[in-house]
Structures are given as structure tokens and as C-alpha cells.
């Protein structure tokens, strides 16, 4: 089984070496233009290189060299992030095979064609052992499907025509039986193809927050550029004109190069962490929005509960023994292939030791299927008949045959209904005797650990709302058992939409999971819509994320990844801005201490010479980018907490740390640089 955690995808130092050629290729000015901050550094590197060639000295060559390293290390951060995505994409490509599809023609015959030639609405036949050639919807048949090539999950899943489990993914393998699949995507646009494009970064667009931060960094760069340019006339007037190399070094050290260099890598790594958890995001905006979600809407069926009601209790009535009720309930359900019918057989086998398969005598009976008119099902044997179904329907069946329904049946049915369960009354006719044996309780079984999951969401400041079409009694019972904050019962699609709009009008971001066609409008309206891969194509097209594992509780991890992305970006921005303080104390005394001796008091790091101070600041400015690459890729660790507590923690760790670290780092670099002739 594939598992993940926040912070997965650990950094490997070897990635720096393997990504170095890509980092060199990114030195092209066309690539640098995408990042205004690093483009200024690139221009400064070219300028200082020209002066180093025209008037070579150890100082100018050192500054030019380390400015190029600054640009190169920024490229390296992005290249490492992209390299990890390319490795994942290569794994997906190996999983994707060239498939020959069995396409149905208009006259019902089969023709074999390459999978890449399939078009939308083509019908293909897939049998046991064959690979599904493309994304689509099952229109005929039921089969067990192995999705491990896509999801990493070894357990097979059931896919069948009709309902909410009819969607299949190209590249998965049919393990049993036969399916007819209607293709729903064009070649090159399947979920696997989109996932490959996502992890390679080809389809990644800057998110609104990332664009806003880029504008802020560009504005700061322009301000510092104007400040440095205006510094030269002042320096000339003071009798200490500065060289272009020194001014360039000052500019590069003052602008926010650290976050400018890591910004793209942070975004790519955030998407990478999402893909590691088998979530396909069609929008980077959705990943960021997940970090700001304050309301989470969850569909009850298949999300909070297992999706099908299960038999959980047998209540005998009228003097019948529970073992007698179990025998009759099992017999009435042997031919019932619905999930509820199978659960009754399993309950009788687990608690009463009854066999799960029919004997030869039982197989000879005539199965009576459930219909909306009779609201009962059962089996007729020689001289014997059993029925199970709604209380009113079974009461009428018993009365027609001259039997009597015990008074306690109504009390048991009312109690089970009040608890949110579904009562099925079981009756038997043997010879001339008709008797009600008891009542089977069907319950919505809440998935394990859901209560703990919702407590975790509350710690994140997220309100949970369960949405269901069930009656209020059932909804309340499931809500209390699962621990959700609120619920909406008897919800129709338009009521789901209205609830989402009310939440959004209050300024809250809303996330929702769903898998059915009736969930599609709400998924489209929500800020973060996570559709299950096992769900309908309409749901997957409406959402902006698809969970390939079809685990509705994974939205908690998605929210944590979104928060981690925002926190990482904010933390490294804080660190980058705080970094500048130490550089003032390093470069400004070095520039003007000759004419203003009082400025030497600002040289609190006691750097050896003006040249060593400038070179040390430039070297530290480059090396800190490499040092922060692992953090940018891994992400700042997220712990469920309030926004104010997270802000205090990040200001202390990355604000204070950003001030102290460069003082220590520049001082240590200076201890080495001062030994270089021509600088120290």
C-alpha cells in the first residue's frame, strides 16, 4: 500500500550533481527574464565579468565569479525540483504501455487498433488480463481492476456500469470478467498524461500568491537599484567614488536574492508533494487555496461512511431465538447480490457460524428479487418461503397469509429508525404457519479513525460539514458518531450549492470531496474540489483535484500540503529579508570607512579589509541559496495550530534566525577570504 507524509520526498545531495547540467542551461538570458530578481543578478554578473576582463584583479574576478555562482545556484534549486518531477514522470511513462485496443464497430464487430488512435466516445472491450487503453466509463459489465500502476495501491477495486464506480483510468489492468468501456478523453489528455505534465512542471503556472510575491520582490529590487544608483553621486561628492563592481556587489546583496532564487523551487516542490500522495491537481491555485480553507464539506456516503449500509444487529421478536432469525435472514439473502444482502450473510456467518454459500437444496429455490413495488426480496423453497424488506411491506405479506405481526415489531422498527438505522423485517412461512422472526438493523458504518481526523481538522481551524440525502435522524446519528461539526440532511444538489455560496459570501474558502454526478455542481463551485478517481467522469471534470487513491479523508493531507506551501514561502521570505541587515554592517563600512572613520564602529564582525568584507558578503549570499535548497524542497514542517501561533513561531525561527545566521556566516567566510592575497 502506498503511503505518504508531509515532508516526504527527502532531499538527496546527489541531486545537486545530476541537476547541474540543467542549471547551466538555464543561464540563458531568455530563462532569466522569467525571474526579475535573478535577471538583475545575471546582468550584474555580466557587467562585473566585463570589468574583470578589462581590469583583472583578485577582487574583481572573485566578485564576478561568485555572482555567477549566485545565478547558478538559483538555477540549481529550480533544476533539482524539476529533476525530482522528471524522475516521477519517467516512472509513470514506464507504467504506461503501448496498448492495442479492441474497438467495437457500429455493427458490433471488434477491430484491433493502437490505443493512441482511440477517440472520444469509442467503445472498447477489455477482458481479464488486458490493459484498459484509455480513460473512460464502464457501460457494460462488472470486473475487478488492478490500479497499482497508477495509484501504487495493490488491492484491486471493483468497477461496474452505472452508479458512482463506473470510471476507469487508462493503464490499469482488468483482473476478472469483461468490461465495455466508453473512451472519454483524447489521446495525450488522459489522467496519466496530465500527471506526467504536472510532475515535469510543464503545466505549472504561477499561482496568484506567487505572482503577488514576485511583484513585491520586483518592486524591492527596483527600489534598491535606484538607491544604489543614487549612491554614486553622493560618494563622488564625499570624495570616495565607488567602482561599478562594488556597487553591483552591494545591489546583489541588498535585493531579496534568497527568496527570488528559491521561489520557483518552492512552488514546484509543493506540487511534487501533492503528486507523491497520488493527487492530480489541475490548478496550482487550488493547492494554495487548500492552505487557506476554513470550511470542509464532506459527502456522507462513501466518504464518512463506507458507502453501503451494512447489517450490524439481529433483533429477534415474537419468541423466536436469535439463531432462528439468523438462519432465516441468511436464507433470504443468499441470492441477494446487493451490498446490504451480502452484509447480512457475512453477519450471520461471523456471529452465528452459518455458511456463506448455499447448499444444493437452497440453490434449487426460486429467488424473489427486490422491486420498488414490493419493497421485499427473499426466496421460495419447497413448502417454505422467506421474505425480508420494509416493515409495511412485510406486514402486508404476513397478513395476506393469515399471520400476525407481534406488537414489539413496531417498537423495534421505531427504535432502529430513531437511531439513524434502516430496519428490515424478516418473516417466514413454513407449511401453514406464518411468523415474523425479527428485524435486521442496517447501519451506515463510519470509517475507522474518522473522529480523530475531524479533531485534527478542528485543530487547523477548519469547520467540517457533512452533506447527505438521508433523513435528519440518520444524518444526526452519523454526525454524532463521526464527530463532524455540522450536517445538512436531505440535501439536493441546489442546496449543496446554496450552502457553499453562503460560506463563500462570508469570506471563507470552501473545500469539498465527492464522487457522484450529483456532486459535480458543488465541486465546481467550491474553491477546492477533490473528486474521487473511482467516481463518475462528471465529478472528475468538475473538481480541480482528482484523488487517484479515492480516499476522501486525504483532503486533510491536501490541506496540510497547502498550508505547508504557504508557510514555507512565508518563512523563506522572512529569512531573506532579515538577511539584509548583516550585509549593511558588512558592505557599507567597507565602502565609506576610509572617508568616515566613525563608520568602522559598524564593522561589528571585525571583517579584515573592505575587499574581504564585500567578497565575504557576496559568497555568503550565494552559499545560503544552496543551504536552503533542501528546506525549499522538503517544506517547513507544519503542525496543526492557530494562525497567530504559526506567525510567532516563524518570526522567531526565520526572522531572528535570518538576522543571526548571516552575521555568523559572513564572519566565518571572512576568516577564509582574508587569507587570499589581494583581498585580505
Q: Is residue 370 part of an annotated ligand binding site?
A: yes
Largest CA distance in the chain: 121
CA distance 553 to 568: 24
Is 299 marked active-site? Answer: yes
Phi, psi for residue 230 in degrees, rounded to 5 = -75, -10
Q: Is residue 371 part of an annotated ligand binding site?
A: yes
Q: Is residue 372 part of an annotated ligand binding site?
A: yes
Q: Which among 504, 521, 298, 318 is positioned nearest to 425, based on CA atoms?
A: 318
Q: Is residue 637 part of an annotated ligand binding site?
A: no
Among candidate residues 135, 272, 299, 547, the one labeled active-site is 299
Contact 438, 348 (CB under 8 A): no
Q: Is residue 336 part of an annotated ligand binding site?
A: yes
The DSSP code for 596 is -
Q: Is residue 376 part of an annotated ligand binding site?
A: yes
Cell of 272: 511534487
Residue 500 sits at the vertex; the CA angle it makes with 496 and 503, to the nearest 5 degrees, is: 140
In which residue are the cell numbers 482528482 written?
546
Q: Is residue 515 part of an annotated ligand binding site?
A: yes
Q: Which among 92, 81, 97, 104 is positioned nearest to 12, based on CA atoms?
A: 81
Q: Is residue 340 part of an annotated ligand binding site?
A: yes
Q: Is residue 609 part of an annotated ligand binding site?
A: no
- Strands lying side by side in the sheet with 463-467: 279-281, 545-547, 528-532, 509-514, 293-299, 463-467, 486-488
Give strand ranges (E) for 382-432: 384-389, 422-430
Q: Is residue 388 part of an annotated ligand binding site?
A: yes
Q: Is residue 415 part of an annotated ligand binding site?
A: no
Burial of residue 144 (CB within 10 Å: 0-12, 13-18, 19+) is middle
One DSSP character per residue, 263-309 reads HHHHHHHHHHHHHHTTEEES-HHHHHHHHTEEEEEEEIIIIIB-SS-
Burial of residue 9 (CB within 10 Å: 0-12, 13-18, 19+) is middle
Q: Catalytic amino acids?
A: 299
Which residues are part of a known binding site for Mg(2+)? 515, 519
Point out the annotated binding site for ATP: 336, 340, 370-377, 388
User: Residue positions in the annotated binding site?
Assistant: 336, 340, 370-377, 388, 515, 519
Amino acid at each position: 500500500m502506498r503511503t505518504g507524509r508531509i515532508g516526504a520526498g527527502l532531499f538527496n545531495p546527489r541531486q545537486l550533481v545530476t541537476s547541474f547540467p540543467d542549471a547551466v542551461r538555464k543561464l540563458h538570458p531568455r530563462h532569466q527574464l522569467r525571474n526579475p530578481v535573478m535577471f538583475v543578478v545575471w546582468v550584474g554578473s555580466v557587467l562585473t565579468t566585463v570589468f574583470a576582463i578589462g581590469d583583472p584583479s583578485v577582487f574583481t574576478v572573485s566578485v564576478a565569479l561568485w555572482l555567477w555562482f549566485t545565478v547558478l545556484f538559483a538555477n540549481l534549486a529550480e533544476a533539482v525540483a524539476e529533476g525530482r518531477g522528471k524522475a516521477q514522470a519517467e516512472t509513470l511513462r514506464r507504467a504506461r504501455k503501448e496498448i492495442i485496443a479492441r474497438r467495437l464497430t457500429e455493427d458490433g464487430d471488434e477491430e484491433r487498433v493502437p490505443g493512441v488512435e482511440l477517440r472520444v466516445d469509442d467503445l472498447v472491450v477489455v477482458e481479464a488480463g488486458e490493459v484498459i487503453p484509455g480513460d473512460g466509463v464502464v457501460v457494460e459489465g462488472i470486473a475487478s481492476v488492478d490500479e497499482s500502476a497508477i495509484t501504487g495501491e495493490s488491492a484491486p477495486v471493483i468497477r461496474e456500469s452505472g452508479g458512482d464506480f463506473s470510471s476507469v483510468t487508462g493503464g490499469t489492468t482488468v483482473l476478472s470478467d469483461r468490461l465495455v468501456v466508453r473512451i472519454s478523453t483524447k489521446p495525450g489528455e488522459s489522467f496519466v498524461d496530465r500527471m506526467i505534465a504536472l510532475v515535469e512542471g510543464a503545466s505549472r503556472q504561477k499561482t496568484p500568491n506567487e505572482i503577488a510575491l514576485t511583484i513585491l520582490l520586483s518592486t524591492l529590487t527596483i527600489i534598491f537599484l535606484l538607491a544604489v544608483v543614487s549612491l554614486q553621486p553622493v560618494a563622488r561628492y564625499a570624495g570616495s567614488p565607488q567602482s561599478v563592481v562594488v556597487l553591483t556587489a552591494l545591489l546583489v546583496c541588498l535585493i531579496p536574492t534568497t527568496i527570488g532564487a528559491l521561489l520557483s523551487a518552492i512552488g514546484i516542490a509543493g506540487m511534487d508533494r501533492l503528486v507523491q500522495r497520488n493527487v492530480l491537481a489541475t490548478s496550482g491555485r487550488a493547492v494554495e487555496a487548500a492552505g487557506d480553507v476554513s470550511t470542509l464539506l464532506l459527502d456522507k456516503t462513501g466518504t464518512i461512511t463506507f458507502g453501503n449500509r451494512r447489517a450490524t444487529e439481529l433483533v429477534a421478536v415474537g419468541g423466536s431465538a436469535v439463531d432462528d432469525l439468523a438462519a432465516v435472514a441468511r436464507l433470504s439473502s443468499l441470492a441477494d447480490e446487493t451490498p446490504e444482502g451480502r452484509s447480512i450473510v457475512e453477519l450471520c456467518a461471523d456471529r452465528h457460524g452459518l455458511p456463506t454459500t448455499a447448499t444444493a437444496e437452497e440453490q434449487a429455490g426460486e429467488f424473489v428479487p427486490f422491486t420498488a413495488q414490493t419493497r421485499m426480496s427473499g426466496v421460495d423453497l419447497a413448502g417454505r418461503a422467506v421474505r425480508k424488506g420494509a416493515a409495511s411491506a412485510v406486514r402486508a405479506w404476513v397478513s395476506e397469509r393469515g399471520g400476525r405481526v407481534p406488537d414489539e415489531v413496531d417498537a423495534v422498527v421505531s427504535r432502529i429508525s430513531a437511531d439513524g438505522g434502516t430496519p428490515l423485517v424478516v418473516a417466514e412461512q413454513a407449511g401453514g404457519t406464518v411468523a415474523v422472526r425479527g428485524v435486521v438493523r442496517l447501519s451506515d458504518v463510519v470509517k475507522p479513525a474518522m473522529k480523530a481526523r475531524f479533531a485534527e481538522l478542528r485543530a487547523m481551524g477548519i469547520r467540517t460539514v457533512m452533506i447527505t440525502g438521508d433523513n435528519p435522524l440518520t444524518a444526526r446519528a452519523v454526525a454524532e458518531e463521526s464527530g463532524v461539526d455540522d450536517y445538512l440532511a436531505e440535501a439536493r444538489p441546489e442546496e449543496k450549492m446554496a450552502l457553499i455560496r453562503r460560506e463563500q459570501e462570508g469570506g471563507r474558502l470552501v473545500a469539498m470531496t465527492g464522487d457522484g454526478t450529483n456532486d459535480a455542481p458543488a465541486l465546481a463551485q467550491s474553491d477546492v474540489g477533490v473528486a474521487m478517481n473511482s467516481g463518475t467522469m462528471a465529478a472528475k471534470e468538475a473538481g480541480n483535484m482528482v484523488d487517484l487513491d479515492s480516499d476522501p479523508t486525504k483532503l486533510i493531507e491536501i490541506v496540510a500540503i497547502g498550508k505547508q506551501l504557504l508557510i514555507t514561502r512565508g518563512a523563506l521570505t522572512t529569512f531573506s529579508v532579515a538577511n539584509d541587515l548583516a550585509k549593511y554592517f558588512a558592505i557599507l563600512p567597507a565602502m565609506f570607512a576610509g572617508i568616515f572613520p566613525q563608520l568602522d564602529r559598524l564593522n561589528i564582525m571585525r571583517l579584515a579589509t573592505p575587499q574581504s568584507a564585500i567578497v565575504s558578503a557576496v559568497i555568503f549570499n550565494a552559499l545560503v541559496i544552496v543551504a536552503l535548497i533542501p528546506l525549499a524542497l522538503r517544506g517547513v514542517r507544519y503542525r496543526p495550530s492557530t494562525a497567530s501561533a504559526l506567525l510567532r513561531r516563524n518570526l522567531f525561527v526565520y526572522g531572528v534566525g535570518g538576522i543571526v545566521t548571516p552575521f555568523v556566516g559572513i564572519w566565518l567566510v571572512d576568516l577564509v577570504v582574508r587569507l587570499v592575497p589581494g583581498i585580505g
